[in-house]
Amino acid sequence: MAEIPPGTRQRCSLCQVEIQGMVGGNDLVHFSQGGPGTRAKLWARVCQYLRTGEQQAQCLNQDASQRGTVQQSDYFAEAPIIEIPPTAAPGA
């Protein structure tokens, strides 16, 4: 996929995020929830799971040279462990 010109946005037809072209190539990804992120974060959370060639051809984020290095913090974190105390049995 070609670079997105600085100052413009393109919407991915698959996941519906908008990618805003920035000077220097560090594009901003506007997710539906939360603040903007990077193409690497989008890859870690969404794009890597595309399986078919048709899906990959539609994706705006398949070019590894445009997304940069994925950091551990780009992935979704594990859900926290919630300890629920046992309840007493009825009639006990």
Residue 20 has pLDDT above 90, yes or no: yes
Percent of the chain with pLDDT over 70: 96
Q: What is the token pair recorded at 63?
A: 């070019």
Q: What pTM was computed for the model?
A: 0.78
Q: How far is CA 88 from CA 28, 70, 84, 91, in A?
A: 52, 47, 12, 8
Dihedral sign, Cα of residue 7, residue 20, residue 32, residue 59: positive
Query: What pLDDT score does 9 carry?
Result: 95
Mean pLDDT of 33-58: 94
Residue 91 has pLDDT above 80, yes or no: no
